[in-house]
Amino acid sequence: MLDQSTQFLTEAESAQVDGALLSSPEKFLARLTISTAKLLGVISADLDIPLASLSASHIIQWFEEDAKRKREQGVDAAVLKWDSEDLG
């Protein structure tokens, strides 16, 4: 599980992406990919499944468990801190 100080994309990584010779859509995808790689590592560790063995079902299961933890214990208990209101 991530602790409060861990981020999926650090300022330094974001600055690296900014400095890359990429288009805006490519920079977005690079940031998304870096963040996703870190999240997949968290999911792998939480489920005690090797990263290479994660399936769509495992990932969905993990998201369901994280959402349940957020509903039952509050947003601070969840790994993903967003609220559905944050999305739009």
- pLDDT, one tens digit for every residue, the chain (88 residues): 444 445 789 999 999 999 999 999 999 999 999 999 999 999 999 999 999 999 999 999 999 999 999 999 988 889 988 765 554 5
Burial class (CB in 10 A: 0-12, 13-18, 19+), 14: middle
Domains of the chain, by residue range, sit at 11-87
Instruction: Judge whether 83 and 75 are in contact, CB under 8 Å.
Output: yes
Confidence (pTM):
0.80
Cα 33 from chain centre: 10
Distances (CA, A) of 41 to 14, 38, 72: 19, 5, 24
Instruction: Judge whether 69 and 78 are in contact, CB under 8 Å.
Output: yes
